[in-house]
């Protein structure tokens, strides 16, 4: 059996159960640097669990910033697995202003295919996956795309993977006004 997900427009309200949407449209902002820069403040809060009992000489977990280069998917896109990061959040912000797909399932045990949600994110929207939320690896559209990524680096296993046991494809439809 094939399950088809249709991506819906990404909004803060629709995505709230999985983390937060990163965008400047509705964010608090104010001028800095003698009015030459507009600061969009506190768009998301990155989390990294502290190590409960670090061993001597072991480095502590820290929040890091990386850039990922995602290769484009063709639609409809076949999904093969989900992953989660139980020890911290993970944020993705597109740098090339292209739309992209976000596929998620609630935190908890292995994800059920029927619990999957798909979102089409505008090129000016990012997401901050809450710790433990299942998500598909990066799904760039149209062309190879760069993403600023903020997540946890440190001791401990912070990436669980779960293969999807059924054929699942995600599509989009023409969406307006979102």
Does any domain span residue 74?
A: yes
Q: Is the pLDDT of residue 70 over 80?
A: yes
CB 104 within 8 A of CB 158: no
Is residue 124 scored above 70 in pLDDT?
yes
The 10s digit of each residue's pLDDT in 138-176 is 999 999 999 999 999 888 889 999 999 889 999 987 543
Give the pLDDT band (50/70/90) at residue 177: very low
Is 122 a domain residue? yes
- Note whether residue 133 is domain-resident: yes
The pLDDT value recorded for residue 52 is 63
- How many folded domains does the chain comprise? 1
Whole-number average pLDDT of the chain: 89
- Report the CATH number that the domain containing residue 67 is assigned in CATH: 2.60.120.480
Instruction: Tell me, yes or no, whether 41 lies in a domain.
Output: yes
Is residue 176 in some structural domain?
no
Whether residue 178 lies inside any domain: the answer is no
Compute CA distances 4 → 34, 49, 112, 118, whole Å: 51, 35, 14, 10
pLDDT band for 136, please (50, 70, 90 cuts): very high
Specify if 54 maps to a domain: no
| b/e 95-127 (16+ beta carbons within 10 angstroms → b) | eeebbbbbbbbbbeeebebeebbbbbbbeebbb
Q: Considering the domain boundaries, does residue 14 fall inside one?
A: yes
pLDDT at 50: 64
Quick one: tokens of 93? 């912000």
Cα 80 off chain centre by? 17
Q: What's the domain range around 149?
A: 2-47+60-171
């Amino acid at each position: 059996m094939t399950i088809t997900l249709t991506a819906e427009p990404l909004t803060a309200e629709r995505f709230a159960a999985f983390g937060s949407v990163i965008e400047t449209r509705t964010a608090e902002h104010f001028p800095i640097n003698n009015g030459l820069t507009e600061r969009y403040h506190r768009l998301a809060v990155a989390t990294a669990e502290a190590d409960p009992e670090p061993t001597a000489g072991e480095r502590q977990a820290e929040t890091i910033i990386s850039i990922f280069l995602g290769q484009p998917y063709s639609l409809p896109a076949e999904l093969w697995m989900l992953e989660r990061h139980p020890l911290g959040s993970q944020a993705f912000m597109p740098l090339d202003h292209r739309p992209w797909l976000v596929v998620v399932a609630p935190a908890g045990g292995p994800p059920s295919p029927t619990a999957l949600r798909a979102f089409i994110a505008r090129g000016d929207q990012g997401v901050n996956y809450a710790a433990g939320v299942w998500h598909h690896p990066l799904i760039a559209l149209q062309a190879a795309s760069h993403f600023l990524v903020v997540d946890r680096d440190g001791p401990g296993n912070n990436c669980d993977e779960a293969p999807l046991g059924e054929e699942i494809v995600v599509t989009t439809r023409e969406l307006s006004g979102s």
